[in-house]
Homo-oligomer: A and B are copies of this chain.
């Protein structure tokens, strides 16, 4: 992202009067539902009264909120929530392309070995290539066994929501290998195709092999409020039979003192009937943005993946280099995107386009893209 910001600054200097539109960083843009904002405002205001003041909360989060999450997102799957961290000496597999935080955090805790200069790959990471050629799901028969498998669905950046069949394969693979899946479902609420699971726990047996991490960021526009959760099922055991949740709970209680009570009040309000209805209509708004962008690329004969069950589009420019495409789009349309190579070696012919944005910017971006690529096509 640093390189993109640098390019953006350079561009603004070169074209000081250009109206730059960012379809780059996946950041929410629309206001919070009033019921959610009011709930946090009231909670904050009451902290100035003797009756309303509260100090430390439960490290794992309030019982009420944990219950609300379990009921809203894990109904009939029998699940509770805490938060995420990992220890040492583990091998790691990731999708390629993938949001870089999984790899970067593995690098920081020293689990990745050296980077190979040419490919930009880390030696000790198993890259699971996902692209149009394999329906964005890795060939598990050629995937090495690892302790941890990071898996994000709907995927950032490809926008692919894994099918029931794909996730069943993944869970079987983890069972066979004694691996733990860390399943990132931060965009699950964008799934409208009922044939695709919203939680890994919809797959039988997943509660013995998977941790699920999620967040209010993209559900309820909490990118600036900050609130997330992790599900560690009691049935998830180490090879010695010891439950993972005990260690996880210890880490949470030692390293955190709980999430902000104000943010939790907002999270709770966003899961109430009124709040969740408002939240879903925001999700619809971003999904309509995605549709506008999908139609744009379609009409230009460009192949865009994702954007249906996810707020991201993954646009293919066969034979091109993603930084060249990024630069051309920026130079000629003043639109920021993200070059796919930033998400891993498999992203080198793609750019990621986000559907988070005000409608007028999305419509304007669509107009500029049509103008650019219809010209390009005519050449």
Contact = CB atoms under 8 A, between A and B. Distances in A.
A50 interface: yes
Interface string A47-58: 111101111110
Interface in A102-134: 104-105, 108-110
Nearest to A264: B224
Given A48-B37, A55-B29, A254-B105, A262 B110 contact: no
Contact of A28 (B34, B55, B225, B255): B55
A251 interface: yes
A319 interface: no
Contacts of A29: 53, 55
A48 B36 contact: yes
The A contact surface, by secondary structure, is loop
Interface stretch (A38-46, A63-71, A72-80, A292-300): A38-46
Contacts of A266: 44
A202 interface: no
Interface string A200-229: 000000000000000001000101111000
Contact of A47 (B32, B48, B50, B261): B32
Contact of A101 (B48, B254, B262): B254
Number of copies: 2
Contact of A224 (B28, B87, B223, B260): B260
A87 B109 contact: yes
A41 to B, nearest CB: 4
B41 A45 contact: yes
A336 to B, nearest CB: 15
A224 to B, nearest CB: 4
A146 to B, nearest CB: 19
A110 B47 CA distance: 39
A250 interface: yes
Contacts of A217: 257
A34 B53 contact: no
Contacts of A262: 40, 44, 225, 260, 262-263
A25 interface: yes
A226 B53 contact: no
Contacts of A255: 101, 105, 108
A27 interface: yes
A259 interface: yes
A53 B41 contact: no
A223 B32 contact: no
Contacts of A260: 224-226, 260, 262-263
A241 interface: no
Contacts of A16: none
19 contacts: A27-B56, A29-B53, A29-B55, A30-B53, A31-B49, A31-B50, A31-B53, A34-B48, A37-B46, A38-B45, A40-B41, A55-B224, A85-B108, A105-B254, A223-B257, A224-B258, A225-B261, A260-B263, A262-B262
Interface of A: 25, 27-34, 36-38, 40-50, 52-57, 85, 87-88, 101, 104-105, 108-110, 217, 221, 223-226, 250-251, 254-255, 257-263, 266
